[in-house]
Chain A
Amino acid sequence: MKAPLIRLVNVSKVYGLGENQVQALQNVSLEIQPGEYCAIMGASGSGKSTAMNIIGCLDRPTTGDYYLQGENVARCSSAQLAHIRNQQIGFVFQQFHLLPQLTALENVMLPLVYAGVPPRERQQRARLALEQVGLGHRLHNKPNQLSGGQQQRVAIARAMVNQPALLLADEPTGALDSRTSQEVMDLFAELHQQGVTIVMVTHEADIARRAERIIWFRDGQVLHDHLRPDDVYQAIRAM
């Protein structure tokens, strides 16, 4: 068996102090193999985003260990974490989070700037990434000149421009209508074909259905960690 890309061991996350303490995650253990396509589901407040933030090295567990490609992330400095986020992880957010003053091309170039890629190569790679998401004709538009679906595709190009092994998406279709949502999912499927490991959070059954595996959270714990998407889809349709 291959070594897991992601391995969470008894991870807990506590927010706040004293009276206001919230146990966002409680002893979560989880493994995701390279090349898998997982969807995380669960009720609001069940800890999905918290888990994603830890997997994405934006946050650290309160207790427990997180191994990314075998390396214990808890031991990394904040500069090392920044490097990991830059090189190994791509993020896609519900709110796109494009910088409004930059063009599509410049937004996509941003991770390459922090990677220290020289300007010419940066341009070429960003252009290529935008062409791959079908926006080769929109390089110099600002985000407010693009539709929601186009903005999310720019964000996907930005996430993938450094060719990371792992794509993390927290409700990537949450702000999109169902047709553009499916277009974004087509892109994800393509990336999955190319071997990218994808973990995405979603509330929608027909989005989750496109994944290979569903992890179900409840109250900060993993309730099921290997549901089959079609079963989940049928169950939710039946309700």
Chain B
Amino acid sequence: MDIRESLSMALRTLAAHRLRSFLTVLGIVIGNAAVIAMVGVGQAAQRYTAEQLASLGTNVLFVVPGREDARRRGIEPPATLTWEDAQAIAAQVPTVRWVAAQINESALASYGNRTTPTAVTGTVPDFFRVQSFDLQQGRFFHELDVQRQGRVVVLGSDLAAKLFGDRSPIGERIRLRNLSFEVIGVLAPKGAFLGTNRDDAAYIPLTTMAYQLTGRRSPYGLTVAFISVSARDEASVSAAQFQITNLLRRRHKIVDEDDFYIRTQKEAVAIAGNITGVLTILLAATAGISLLVGGIGIMNIMLVSVTERTQEIGLRKAVGATEGDILQQFLLEAIVLAVAGGILGTAVGTLGLIGIGWVTPLQAQVSWEAVILAVGVSGTIGLVFGVAPAQRAAQLDPIVALRST
């Protein structure tokens, strides 16, 4: 029989049992909505991290202490990277423009009777350039502040608001770990970076951090958490990486394994992409399982439907339907159900993504690949799970079928 005939017959039957058809495809709808939403969220997360890293500028390199694989194994990085290293890079590497060593701590910040925990970064003036910070009020600290271990602080906009409300903090004194600092500047809002809020933070001179706030020193000198470096331009990133590596190997008298490693912007993006990529796959797999469950739901209801429609099948056979005709009709019903579920699910998933876009910074888009995949997979699921009921229908003995009343 012509496939269009079967299709219109399938559509009529499904339309005649609207509620049941809807309930049957609910599983597929949910499965598809989940796939669309999960893949959308995963991809949005991937794009978000990439954008965040790219916002640093493409010519940034990070020098990090420890062996490259140490961090992954959860080993505390050795205190081998020092401020002197950073100064040497700035002085001796010609392809480098700005160099910023930094130490990160957390501390309680207080002003008057207001107290709040915050992130404190000890660093140098170049830091603001590498990270391209802008000022809202006041000034950044100078080289001189670093040399003199000045008790000055530049506040992130959120921290300033928490401590001072609407008042101007410039010239006021706040306390960090019970040391008094003069507020000299407030940064323009910068937003979160990979989940840490850079506006709820205080920035102080590196030396003040090392010698007064933490008191932490090592036999190597003033050790730092990492050094961010800005190459002259994008083209000189690899040259800078090579030159810094050589310089640090000489300074650290390394013969075999490096005790530091250098990440370029590109590598960082790739790594972040890998992590979020795995996340996407996990989410998609979970959603895929619910799609499978939806398929089993279709099979279940179709089997019931075959039993219920025994008489119809017998009658169709009596007036000339072949086994192939019946098979085709029931298979098409299953496929139509599944594909309709796929389309409906895609719509629901898309609405879900729009909702997620409202409440999180993840601006998810519906990817065409995901839509085609979801609907295609649904159709296939309809086909696969429709076979058993359709075969049962096709093989019904017309006499038995007609006798049942």
Q: Are A99 and B312 in contact (CB under 8 A)?
A: yes
Q: Which of A83, A85, A97 makes the CB contact (< 8 A) with B402?
A: A97
Q: Are B320 and A85 in contact (CB under 8 A)?
A: yes
Query: What size tier do the contact residues of chain A reach?
Result: 20 to 34
Which of B12, B318, B324, B399: most chain A CB closer than 10 A? B318
Task: List residues of chain A with CB within 8 A of the CB of B13.
Answer: 101
Task: List residues of chain B with CB within 8 A of the CB of A113.
Answer: 1, 5, 9
Q: Answer yes or no: B157 CB below 8 A from chain A CBs.
A: no
Q: Are A85 and B399 in contact (CB under 8 A)?
A: no
Instruction: Give the residue name and chain of the A residue nearest to B324 (CB).
Output: A79
Q: Are B398 and A58 in contact (CB under 8 A)?
A: yes
Q: How far is the CA of A111 from the CA of B321 in the complex (A)?
A: 8
Q: Answer yes or no: B19 CB below 8 A from chain A CBs.
A: no
In the complex with contacts A58-B399, A101-B16, A95-B318 CB distance below 8 A: no
Q: How far is the CA of A78 from the CA of B1 in the complex (A)?
A: 15
Task: List residues of chain A with CB within 8 A of the CB of B324.
Answer: 79
A9 CB to nearest chain B CB (Å): 21
Extra inter-chain contacts (14) besides given A78-B323, A86-B319, CB under 8 Å: A58-B398, A79-B324, A82-B317, A82-B320, A83-B322, A85-B318, A91-B318, A91-B319, A97-B315, A97-B402, A101-B13, A110-B316, A114-B319, A115-B320
Q: Answer yes or no: B325 CB below 8 A from chain A CBs.
A: yes
Q: How far is the CA of A86 from the CA of B320 in the complex (A)?
A: 4
Task: List residues of chain A with CB within 8 A of the CB of B399.
Answer: 53, 58-59
Query: What size tier do the contact residues of chain B reach?
Result: 20 to 34
Q: How far is the CA of A79 from the CA of B327 in the complex (A)?
A: 13
Task: State which residues 82-99 of A face B: CB under 8 Å.
Answer: 82-83, 85-87, 91, 93, 95, 97, 99
Q: Are B402 and A79 in contact (CB under 8 A)?
A: no
A166 CB to nearest chain B CB (Å): 13
Write the B313-340 contact mask toward A (1 if CB under 8 angstroms, else 0).
0111111111111000000000000000
Task: List residues of chain A with CB within 8 A of the CB of B322.
Answer: 78-79, 82-83, 114
Q: Answer yes or no: A158 CB below 8 A from chain B CBs.
A: yes
Task: List residues of chain B with CB within 8 A of the CB of A18.
Answer: none
Q: Are B318 and A58 in contact (CB under 8 A)?
A: yes
Task: List residues of chain B with CB within 8 A of the CB of A116.
Answer: 1-2
CB-defined A-B contacts under 8 Å, sample of 13 = A79-B322, A95-B405, A97-B318, A101-B13, A102-B12, A111-B319, A113-B1, A113-B5, A114-B319, A114-B320, A114-B322, A115-B320, A162-B320
Q: How far is the CA of A181 from the CA of B319 in the complex (A)?
A: 23
Instruction: Give the residue name and chain of the B residue nearest to A82 (CB).
Output: B322
Q: Which of A59, A78, A158 makes the CB contact (< 8 A) with B319?
A: A158
Task: List residues of chain B with CB within 8 A of the CB of A99.
Answer: 312, 315
Task: List residues of chain B with CB within 8 A of the CB of A87.
Answer: 320
Q: How far is the CA of A172 from the CA of B16 in the complex (A)?
A: 29
Q: How far is the CA of A86 from the CA of B322 in the complex (A)?
A: 10
Write the A42-84 contact mask toward B (1 if CB under 8 angstroms, else 0).
0000000000010010110000000000000000001100110
Write the A107-126 contact mask toward B (1 if CB under 8 angstroms, else 0).
00011011110000000000
Q: How far is the CA of A146 from the CA of B324 in the complex (A)?
A: 32
Instruction: Give the residue name and chain of the A residue nearest to B318 (CB).
Output: A91
Instruction: Give the residue name and chain of the B residue nearest to A110 (CB).
Output: B319
B359 CB to nearest chain A CB (Å): 45
Write the A16-30 contact mask toward B (1 if CB under 8 angstroms, else 0).
000000000000000
Task: List residues of chain A with CB within 8 A of the CB of B319.
Answer: 85-86, 91, 110-111, 114, 158
Q: Answer yes or no: B311 CB below 8 A from chain A CBs.
A: yes
Task: List residues of chain A with CB within 8 A of the CB of B312.
Answer: 99
Q: Are B320 and A97 in contact (CB under 8 A)?
A: no
Q: How far is the CA of A38 from the CA of B194 in the complex (A)?
A: 89
B10 CB to nearest chain A CB (Å): 12
Which of B311, B319, B324: most chain A CB closer than 10 A? B319
Q: How far is the CA of A101 from the CA of B333 in the complex (A)?
A: 15
Instruction: Give the residue name and chain of the A residue nearest to B12 (CB).
Output: A101
Task: List residues of chain A with CB within 8 A of the CB of B318.
Answer: 56, 58, 85, 91, 97
Q: How far is the CA of A79 from the CA of B311 in the complex (A)?
A: 19
Q: How far is the CA of A5 from the CA of B115 in the complex (A)?
A: 105
Instruction: Give the residue name and chain of the B residue nearest to A56 (CB).
Output: B318
Q: Are B402 and A93 in contact (CB under 8 A)?
A: yes
Task: List residues of chain B with CB within 8 A of the CB of A101.
Answer: 12-13, 16
